[in-house]
Amino acid sequence: MIDVLLALASGFLVWTFVEYAMHNFNGHQMKGKTTFSREHLKHHAEEGYFAPLSAKILRVFLIIPPIYLMVALVLPWPTALAFTASFLGGHVLYEVVHYRLHFIPPQSAYMRWAARHHFAHHFNCPKYNHGVTTSLWDHVFGTYRQVDEVRVPRRRAMAWLIDEGTNDVHLPFQDTFRLTGRPRRA
């Protein structure tokens, strides 16, 4: 039983590294040379753009079986299955968190932290804060930057961030976010 619990923890930990590596190395350092990098750079350029869900599902079907098979070569099948399920769970969690950050106002302390961390990456400096669900690997690889205030261009601001009545940042987020640029015309 301990081996299955360790496999669950390890699968999730390995996912967080893959999340970081894909985002930093493939998403940014490849500078549009791969399909993933082009999709990621488009995500940065166009607020609200995400790669098609069908592409994400296809990617899962292509990577999960080989991961299971590789792990099953060295571990018993229940342990390999636990590792793979946890890895997949980490991937699904990442997709949900990332989508919610862009479209739904953060309501928990974790989501407020994730919004600050992620949007500092998007709008302040894309060389830093590559982790979406955790900053662990940013700390390990020296790409973490503490951000107190995230400057968001008005033309790229998430809909949940702007109070339509005042055309400024919604009150609950004024301690973290500041809009830059001219106000939108009514």
Q: What is the rounded average pLDDT of the residues 151-178? A: 95
In DSSP notation, the chain reads -HHHHHHHHHHHHHHHHHHHHIIIIIIIITTTSSHHHHHHHHHHHSTT----HHHHHHHHHHHHHHHHHHHHTTS-HHHHHHHHHHHHHHHHHHHHHHHHHHHS---SHHHHHHHHHHHHHHHT-TTS---SS-SHHHHHHT-----S-EEEEGGG--GGGEETTTTEE-GGGTTTEEEESPPPP-
The pTM assigned to this predicted structure is 0.93
**Could you report the per-residue pLDDT of 77-126, keeping only the tens digit for each?**
999 999 999 999 999 999 999 999 999 999 999 999 999 999 999 999 99
Residue 146 has pLDDT above 90, yes or no: yes
Examine residue 186 and state whether it is found in any structural domain, yes or no. no
Model pLDDT, residue 1: 84
Residue 185 counted as domain residue: no
Residue 63 lies in a domain: yes
In a domain, residue 51? The reply is yes
Domain count, the chain: 1
Q: Has residue 186 got a pLDDT over 60?
A: no
